[in-house]
């Protein structure tokens, strides 16, 4: 009886340790997602001039490398949705990822607004959108971004490569250069929320970004599954 009781105590202690470790691991993922989304949006808000898209892409590249081992470096609800649909993100983790990303974006919008007051171009101008341009540009841009993301991260043939951050960062740079005039080149619902909070997007336009970003991610995931030769 003493031996059985001792064994039960050991098992209970081990289970408590595992639960604590899982909780800490999950919190580390959420903190990583929040920090990454924060600095991505901060780069978007503060980058100006002809090299703005490159600066934002390089920031995303650095964040990809720094956070991949901890959270997978999503920083974007559209990415999280695509990975959820691919079975690479557990459905129980999905709400936490979204919450962390939106919190990071909200804090970045507040900090970005504060920092902009110290720049020479402190005036915040609300973007004027054309509905069809936003719907088309955001869908295509999000599709392309998620399609590249999935191809350099998920397949066994490319998994563990050293260039994934560069590929994803430069993809964002290219897409921003192409679609900024058309739709604002957001491709990220968390970024759209942050831009609305900071006054650069109209709240009434948010639905266009949310729908097209998430739809583009879902379609990109579907196409990826069809063309991926690893079954």
CATH code, residues 2-227:
1.20.1080.10
Rounded (10°) CA dihedral 42, 45, 50, 56: 30
Place of tokens 């031996």: 3
pTM tops 0.85: yes
- Cβ-contact 82, 150 below 8 angstroms: yes
Q: Could you report the per-residue pLDDT of 40-67, keeping only the tens digit for each? A: 999 999 999 999 999 999 999 999 999 9
The structural domains of the chain, with segments of one domain joined by +, span 2-227
**Nearest-angstrom CA–CA distance, 206 and 62:** 28
Confidence band of 2 (pLDDT split at 50, 70, 90): low
What is the structure's pLDDT at 18? 45
- Cβ-contact 84, 94 below 8 angstroms: yes
Q: Residue 72, by phi and psi: left (phi above 0), alpha (psi -120 to 50) or beta? A: left
CA angle in degrees (0–180, nearest 5) for 226-96-159: 40
């Amino acid at each position: 009886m003493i031996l059985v009781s001792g064994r039960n105590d050991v098992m209970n202690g081990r289970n408590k340790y595992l639960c604590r470790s899982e909780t800490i691991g999950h919190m580390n993922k959420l903190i990583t997602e929040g920090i990454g989304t924060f600095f991505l949006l901060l780069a978007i808000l503060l980058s100006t001039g002809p090299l703005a898209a490159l600066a934002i892409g390089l920031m995303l590249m650095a964040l990809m490398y720094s956070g991949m081992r901890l959270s997978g470096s999503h920083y974007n609800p559209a990415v999280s949705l695509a990975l959820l649909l691919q079975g690479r993100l557990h459905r129980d983790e999905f709400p936490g990822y979204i919450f962390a990303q939106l919190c990071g974006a909200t804090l970045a919008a507040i900090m970005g607004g504060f920092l902009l007051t110290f720049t020479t171009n402190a005036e915040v101008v609300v973007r004027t959108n054309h509905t069809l341009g936003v719907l088309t540009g955001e869908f295509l841009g999000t599709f392309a971004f998620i399609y590249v993301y999935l191809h350099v991260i998920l397949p066994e043939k490319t998994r563990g490569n050293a260039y994934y951050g560069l590929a994803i960062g430069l993809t964002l740079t290219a897409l921003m250069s192409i679609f900024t005039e058309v739709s604002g080149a957001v491709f990220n619902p968390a970024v759209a929320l942050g831009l609305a909070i900071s006054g650069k997007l109209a709240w009434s336009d948010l639905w266009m970004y949310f729908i097209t970003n998430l739809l583009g991610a879902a379609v990109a995931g579907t196409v990826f599954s069809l063309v991926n030769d690893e079954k």
